[in-house]
Structures are given as C-alpha cells and as structure tokens.
Structure 1
Amino acid sequence: MINILIADNQPLTQQGIITFLTDVNSIHIVGKCGPEDLEAYLSHVQPQLIIISHEPEPNSNLTAIKKVKEKYKSLCILVLSNNVHKHEIMQVIDQGINNYISKGCSRDEFLEAVFATANGEKYYCKKILNILFGPDPIADKAEAVRMLSLREKEIIELIATGMGNKDIAEKLFLSIHTVKTHRKNIIKKLGFTFKHASELILIIGYLNDFFI
C-alpha cells in the first residue's frame, strides 16, 4: 500500500488527484493540505509519498520542497506543476528531485509517475521532457550520450560540481591540454556549453536509466 499526502493550495486540484487515485487499490490518501502546512501535517501523518505543487514565482513552493527534502530524506516526492519555465523546473531538479510532471498530463502518465516515484525511480512526463530537452529529443540525445566515453562522462560530472580545468586535470592525473580537448569533444557531441552542466548530468542520468 502506498500512503500519499497531497500538498496543493487549489481544492480543485486536490479533488482531481483524489479522483484519479480513488479506484487504485494499492493507494491510500492519508491527507491533503497546502504546501505551507506540509511540515505540520508530517508531524502526525506518515506518508510514503508526497504529491506537492510547484507554482511559478513569486508564489513558488520551492522553500517548502527544500525543507521536506532535507528533513525527510527517505520520503518520496512527486512535483506537480503548471510550470512552463525551464529554469524553474531546473531549480527543483537541482534539489535532487527527479520526479516532475505537468498538471496537464494524462491519467496514465500520472499513475506511472506515482508508482515510479514510490519505487524510487525517476519520472518526467512528456511535456516536462519537451521543456527540458526540446521537442522529441530522446533519440538524438540518446545517440549523443552513447558517443561519450567514460572519461568524458566523468569530466562532465566534475564540471557540474564547479571544478575548473586545473582541478580536473589534477584529480584525474591528466594535462590541462587533455582536459580542454575532452571539453571541446563533449560540446561537439552534445551541442551544450558548460553554462548548463546540471542539464548535461540530467540528460545523461535520465537516458542511462531508461534508454541505454
């Protein structure tokens, strides 16, 4: 049985989620609240999974999401949003949350997201994938990731932590020239600059998990 707490400010959205889940035998709704009341509810209910809304700024629930993620590390979090802005989606993903769906997704996608999240798997609905990676990105991106060497993936991960060429060279026992060459090859293969290293990590992780 998956015990779920719904954290959304809109009664219609709360009721819509409940309607979607009512006839699913393996799911139990333990409560519903607004994101601002989430911590209070968690003090007396013990859900396995939270479905929480993420609204555009200035009414963003990112602070509530951060607090829950930090305090309840074993809790599964599924973010539900009308958000169409890539940078705001990335703000949530940067908190280590890899389950994000649009409020416009289908019931089938919604149920897939719930079960994937409860099982500790990543899940993004098609609309969110399109916002993050562009229309129909999967085949091209998967092929690009296949072209990366293990060393190139390792360098991307180090860049994403904020390391520069010199630090990477020292850590991997390479010359700075070799590191620069790897960076050029990565950009050529993926078409990304390293202003968006976190997006590279997301692409590689997502495609490795599901498509490679």
Structure 2
Amino acid sequence: MIRILLADDHAILRDGIRALLSKEPDMEILGEAAHGEALLELLAHTPADVVLMDVNMPVLDGFATMAHLRERYPEVRVLVLSMLEHENYVHRMMEAGALGYVLKNADITEIMHAIRTVAAGREFLCTEIGLNLLRRLVTQTTAGAAVERLPPSRRPEAAAELSGRELEVLRLIAEGFTNQEIADQLFTSKRTIETHRQNIIEKTQAKNTAALIRYAMSHGLIE
C-alpha cells in the first residue's frame, strides 16, 4: 500500500485527487495540507511514502518545503503536481530532491503511473514536459546549426552575459507577464524584478520591451 499525503492550497483539487485515488486498491491518502508548513506538521505524526505537492503555495512554497523535507524526512519521496511547466521550475524542484514532476492537466492514468513510479524510487517526468523539452532542444540545435552555416560576417553578435535569473525574467517578459506577475511566479518582490529588468536592458542595450524581445529571439535566448 502506497501511503500518500497531499499538499495543495486548492481544496477542490485535493478533493478531486482524493476521489480519484480512492478507487486505487494500492493507494491510500492519509492526510491533506494547504501549504508546506502544514505538510511538515502532518508528517511529524503521519508517516507517508509519497508526498504529492504543488510548487506555488502560501506560507511555505514548494521550494522551501523541499529543503525541509530533505533535512527532516529524507525517506519521503516527492512527486510535484503543478501547473508550472517551465523547465526552470522542473529543474529546480528535481535538483532540490523531488523524484517526479507531473502537470495538473495530465491524464489521471499518467498521474497514477507517476505515483507508483516515484513510490518505487524511480524518477518520473510527465509526457508533456518531456515533449516540450525535446522541442526546445531541437529548435535550439537547428538554430545553432543554421548560424554555423552562415559566413562569419553574417553571424549575429554573441548574446549579452545574462544570469540564470535574468534569463528567467526575460522569458517571462516575452510571454507578456507584468513585473508583478513575474514577481509572483518567481516568489520575489516587484522591486527585485524591476531591478532585473533594468539590468537586462542595460546589458542588451535594448531601448524598449519590443526591442528586447527582438534581441532575445535573434540571439536564441527565447523561442
């Protein structure tokens, strides 16, 4: 029997997952939590095999919760269930110790398979994320090969040296998010995002957002 704890701030999602998993003879949901802090309190008296956890939660988000889980409950296996599909989120959660990452819009059959895979101690990445990563890799490889075929005089200048966080901000700007929305997604302040944005503009010497996006696309920083 796989003992499961759910951690998500949306009660309706927890109810739906509980209803679906209740039909599985090898799974049992022992408790629910609306955020990371409540999950840690639950684990103190409710042993579990798998934690099914969101990333974006109040009080204690998924990243902070993972650090506590690895320190206090290293035997618990974590499967992330989130709507955040950007590879930066996937990479950060897997690097932090999560064994699997599945999107909330995944088919229930895939979610069940993900739980069983993680419970067995194996890594899992849902199909949609895997295909997105493959498409991005193919696009970048194709673009790089096209540049290599150009004569040196026609090749674009090297891209400005942007930090990992600046690249995250740049990609979210390109997706049309406001500074506040970017701050919410990256769990930081609006002022910090404004600083990153200014640094990006200074490094790329782009005069406005449209020019910045054109610069990023021409240098392969975004698709």
Q: Please give the range of the TM-score, normalised by the shorter of the 2 chains.
A: 0.5 to 0.7
Q: Tell me, which stretches of 5 or more residues in structure 2 are unaligned?
A: 142-223
1:56–1:88 CA contact under 8 A, matched in 2: no
Identity of aligned residues (%): 23
Cα 1:121/1:15, change in 2 over 3 Å? same
Q: CA deviation at 1:27?
A: 0.9
* CA deviation string 1:135-178 (max 9, x = no partner): 797xx9xxxxxxxxxxxxxxxxxxxxxxxxxxxxxxxxxxxxxx
Q: Take 1:78 and 1:58, find their aligned partners in 2: how far apart are those partners?
A: 20
Task: Find the counterpart in structure 1 of residue 72 from structure 2.
Answer: 71
Task: Find the counterpart in structure 1 of residue 23 from structure 2.
Answer: 23
1:56–1:83 CA contact under 8 A, matched in 2: no
Rg comparison, structure with higher value: 2
1:2–1:49 CA contact under 8 A, matched in 2: yes
- Amino acid in structure 2 at the alignment position of 1:70: E
2:4–2:31 CA contact under 8 A, matched in 1: yes
RMSD between aligned residues: 2.4
1:6–1:31 CA contact under 8 A, matched in 2: yes
Equivalent positions of 1:147-186 (< 5 A) are none
Q: CA deviation at 1:19?
A: 1.7
Structure 1 residue 90 and structure 2 residue 94: aligned? no
Q: CA deviation at 1:60?
A: 4.2
* CA deviation string 1:173-199 (max 9, x = no partner): xxxxxxxxxxxxxxxxxxxxxxxxxxx
Task: Find the counterpart in structure 1 of residue 209 from structure 2.
Answer: none
Q: Tell me, which stretches of 5 or more residues in structure 1 are unaligned?
A: 141-212
Task: Find the counterpart in structure 1 of residue 220 from structure 2.
Answer: none
Task: Find the counterpart in structure 2 of residue 152 from structure 1.
Answer: none
3-state SS of paired residue (1:73): coil
3-state SS of paired residue (2:85): coil
Q: Take 1:30 and 1:106, find their aligned partners in 2: how far apart are those partners?
A: 23
Equivalent positions of 1:1-212 (< 5 A) are 1-34=1-34, 35-55=36-56, 60-134=61-135
- Amino acid in structure 2 at the alignment position of 1:88: Y
- Amino acid in structure 2 at the alignment position of 1:68: L
- Amino acid in structure 2 at the alignment position of 1:98: L
Q: TM-score, normalised by structure 1?
A: 0.59
Q: Take 1:63 and 1:131, find their aligned partners in 2: how far apart are those partners?
A: 26
Q: Take 1:126 and 1:58, find their aligned partners in 2: how far apart are those partners?
A: 30
1:78–1:114 CA contact under 8 A, matched in 2: yes
